[in-house]
């Protein structure tokens, strides 16, 4: 851990962000770019003051968040146990490996039209995309986590008369936790992406819906505020999982 340089790093990063915001603000004012295309930090901020208090905003955010939360919860609830099982039992892995790899190789957004056909343009199709986006990295990394379990740990557990369930709870689960959490981190961004793009494609409400709407109306400031919203959410969620992950790695070393 480069502890002495971390303050320095934060300083440099902060300066970089400020410089970027400064140029973004000044360039349109100086007539270097057209603010219709680029907008400005001040305009985006002004847009937030209009958007946030409106009733629509709360509705959009709650729709998008629900789609994400349900789809992602399903992805975790389904992906983690299945991944652990596949990692533990080679026969299951051989059985399910081809379909999983096929889905893994398919861009999950390409399935969007079929989900709309099946589930309509409401929340269900977004939940489905978030689920498919999230579940694959979670499943694959949970599986990899189990395969990182050393045989000697299992043998040691067996030498103390551990049953299969004990081996699972006391060895496999804690040992694969870092892999599981890494899968969850990768799954978060895929699920967020799924929700937003699905909303942009065909929807009645949601943050992605608004991004598409404001885009078609050339309201760059409104559009960028919504994009920012998604970025902040994705960043925060990923950061939270990463913090958890680092804690687990340190404990697991």
Partner 1 sequence: METRIVLEPAMLQNQGSAAASHIRVEGLTVAYQKPKAAGTLIAVSSANLDIARGTFVTIVGPSGCGKSSLLLAIAGLVQPAGGRVLVNGQPVSGPGRDRAVVFQDFALMPWRTVLDNVRFGLELQRWSGEDLTARARRYVELVGLKGFEHYHPHQLSGGMQQRVGIARALAVDPEILLLDEPFGSLDAQTRDEMGSELLAIWEQNKKTALFVTHGIDEAIFLADQIVVMARNPGRISEIITVDLPRPRTIETMDSELFIEYRRHIRACLMGKVEQSCTQERRF
Residue 247 CB, nearest approach to partner 1 (Å): 11
Q: Which of residues 137-156 bind partner 1 (CB under 8 A)?
A: 150, 152-153, 155-156
Q: By rule CB under 8 A, what string of x and - marks binding of each residue 90-129 to partner 1?
A: ----------------------------------------
- Binding residue for partner 1 (CB under 8 A) from 80, 139, 143, 157? 157
Q: Which of residues 47-76 bind partner 1 (CB under 8 A)?
A: none
How many angstroms separate the Cα of 111 from the Cα of each of 55, 108, 188, 241? 32, 6, 18, 27
Residue 245 CB, nearest approach to partner 1 (Å): 13
- Binding residue for partner 1 (CB under 8 A) from 24, 41, 96, 170? 170
Residue (120 or 252) nearer to partner 1, CB: 252
Asked if residues 71 and 206 have their Cβ atoms less than 8 Å apart, the reply is no
Asked if residues 157 and 169 have their Cβ atoms less than 8 Å apart, the reply is no
* Residues with Cβ within 8 Å of residue 140, at least 6 apart in sequence: 83, 100, 104, 183
Residue (35 or 174) nearer to partner 1, CB: 174
244 binds partner 1 (CB under 8 A): no
Residue (182 or 192) nearer to partner 1, CB: 182
Please give the Cα distance from 38 to 24 (Å, whole number). Answer: 8
Q: By rule CB under 8 A, what string of x and - marks binding of each residue 171-210 to partner 1?
A: x--xx-x---------------------------------
SS percent in the chain: helix, strand, coil, step 5 = 85, 0, 15
Other C-beta atoms closer than 10 Å to the C-beta of 3 total: 6
The residue length of the chain stands at 253
Please give the Cα distance from 86 to 146 (Å, whole number). Answer: 9
* Residues with Cβ within 8 Å of residue 167, at least 6 apart in sequence: 154, 157, 158
Residue (78 or 153) nearer to partner 1, CB: 153
Residue (149 or 200) nearer to partner 1, CB: 149
Residues that bind partner 1 (CB under 8 A): 150, 152-153, 155-162, 166, 170-171, 174-175, 177, 248, 251-253
């Amino acid at each position: 851990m480069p502890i002495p340089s971390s303050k320095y790093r934060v300083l440099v990063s902060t300066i970089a962000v400020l410089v970027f915001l400064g140029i973004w603000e000044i360039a349109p004012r100086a007539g270097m770019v057209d603010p219709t295309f680029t907008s400005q930090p001040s305009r985006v901020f002004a847009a937030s003051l209009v958007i946030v208090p409106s009733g629509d905003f709360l509705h959009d955010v709650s729709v998008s968040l629900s789609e994400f939360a349900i789809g992602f919860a399903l992805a975790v609830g389904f992906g983690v146990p299945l991944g652990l099982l596949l990692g533990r039992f080679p026969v299951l892995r051989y059985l399910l490996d081809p379909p999983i790899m096929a889905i893994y190789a398919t861009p999950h957004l390409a399935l969007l039209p079929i989900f709309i056909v099946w589930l309509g343009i409401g929340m269900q199709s977004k939940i489905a995309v978030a689920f498919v986006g999230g579940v694959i990295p979670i499943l694959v990394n949970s599986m990899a986590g189990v395969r990182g379990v050393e045989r000697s740990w299992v043998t040691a557990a067996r030498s103390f008369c551990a049953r299969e369930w004990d081996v699972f709870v006391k060895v496999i689960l804690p040992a694969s936790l870092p892999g599981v959490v890494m899968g969850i981190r990768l799954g978060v961004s895929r699920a967020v992406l799924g929700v937003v793009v699905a909303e942009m494609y065909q929807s009645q409400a949601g943050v992605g819906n608004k991004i598409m709407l404001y885009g078609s109306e050339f309201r760059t400031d409104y559009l960028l505020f919504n994009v920012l919203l998604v970025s902040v959410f994705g960043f925060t969620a990923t950061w939270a999982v990463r913090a958890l992950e680092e804690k687990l790695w340190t404990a697991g070393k």
